[in-house]
Structure 1
Amino acid sequence: MPYDSDALLATIRTGGIQADLHEHPPVLTVEEMMEVCGDIKGAHTKNLFLRDGKKNYFLVTLPHDARLDLKALRPVLGAKGGLSFASDEALREKLHVISGAVSPLAAMNDAAGIVTVFIESSLLAEERINVHPLTSDRTLSIRPGDLVDILTAHGHAPHAFVLSVSEAVTEPADF
């Protein structure tokens, strides 16, 4: 049975992890998030649910202001064929969340183990990072090491990657 936000938070607390929960109006974009949550201490994130031409799925977490070229990201992820945003239907089916609520924590709802999680390495060096706990009206401020531990314990050990300058583009990526 997939987690909802409350069950996820209970699991995190049961594991002895201290994280700060912030409740706020729902946000769907990075711009909305920064307007509503920009004063929360820690690094803010942007999360992309992607798929390649072979229907492999990737959950990628980046700094909120990162811009990237999906073609340049393909070899970093090990994607086969073209890389594109997964559909809203796939997001609901695989991770049991809706657009705007994606975060690395959503991988905990991937019981089949088909989604590979990637977190940009600069986020792992932060004191705290801010992610949605499966809903876009809450933000969880958590230590990166604790996030990695939670994901690893639930079969989704994240892969760190470096967002290089060559991957930067002028168009913003979706939240």
Structure 2
Amino acid sequence: MDILKKPVFDALDRMGIPYDVYEHPAVFTSEDAAAHWGDLDGTPVKNLFLRNKKGDREYLVILGIEKRADLRQLVKVIGDDRLSFGSAERLMATLGLTPGSVSPFGLLHPASPAVRVIIDTDLRGADRLIFHPNVNTSSVTISFGDLEKFLASRGNTVRYIRV
């Protein structure tokens, strides 16, 4: 088993969270991944790793794959200054991930407690969600309720906002 996936599966198992795993070729965007998710039981999502202008706050934004995040509008709603995508170096330092593998499971990384999580309110109605288990060659499905359980266990600030 890939050393990056094992901590994810161990954490889910420890918390009693059921999940399904699907292997696929490496994908680097949510659009690429969608080509392999056709038969999966779950709502495809994309995960954006963002930082504010000052560089003193990071955000993980989770939204449906069909949506585009309006960063200007998001700034107004969350009350921060300008947002931009975090660099590959910052992503590695904060979540222990590489571009193309961003997911809430990166919150298992020791440097992640300050990351603020924003979930699009439209996902609340989803039965199951599809994420990468810290690698872009697999996908995992878990229930929305179990995502909330996982996030609560990490202690990160979570906000629900219509993105």
> Taking structure 2 as the reference length, what is the TM-score of the superposition?
0.91
Structure 1 gaps, min length 5: 164-175
**Structure 2 match to 1:154:** 154
**Structure 2 match to 1:44:** 44
Alignment of structure 1 residues 96-175 onto 2, 5 Å: 96-111=96-111, 113-163=113-163
Alignment of structure 1 residues 86-105 onto 2, 5 Å: 86-105=86-105
Q: Secondary structure at the match of 2:69?
A: coil
What is the alpha-carbon distance in structure 2 between the residues aligned to residue 101 and residue 54 of structure 1? 25
Tell me how far 1:77 sits from its aligned partner. 2.8
**Structure 1 match to 2:74:** 73
Code of the aligned partner of 2:36: V
Structure 2 gaps, min length 5: none
Check conservation: 1:107, 1:117, Cα contact below 8 A: no
Tell me how far 1:19 sits from its aligned partner. 0.9
**Structure 2 match to 1:85:** 85
Bigger shift: residues 58-67 or 119-128: 119-128
RMSD: 1.5
Tell me how far 1:110 sits from its aligned partner. 4.5
Q: Secondary structure at the match of 2:9?
A: helix
> Taking structure 1 as the reference length, what is the TM-score of the superposition?
0.85
Q: Secondary structure at the match of 1:102?
A: coil
1:19 lines up with 2:15 in the alignment: no
Tell me how far 1:63 sits from its aligned partner. 0.1
Deviation digits for residues 4-45 of structure 1 (CA, Å, limit 9, x no counterpart): 211211110121111111111111012210112232121100
Code of the aligned partner of 2:51: R
What is the alpha-carbon distance in structure 1 between the residues aligned to residue 79 and residue 110 of structure 2? 19
Q: Secondary structure at the match of 1:135?
A: coil
Q: Secondary structure at the match of 2:60?
A: strand
In the superposition, relative to structure 1, how do residues 69 and 157 fare at CA in structure 2: closer, same or farther (>3 Å)?
A: closer
Check conservation: 1:24, 1:36, Cα contact below 8 A: yes
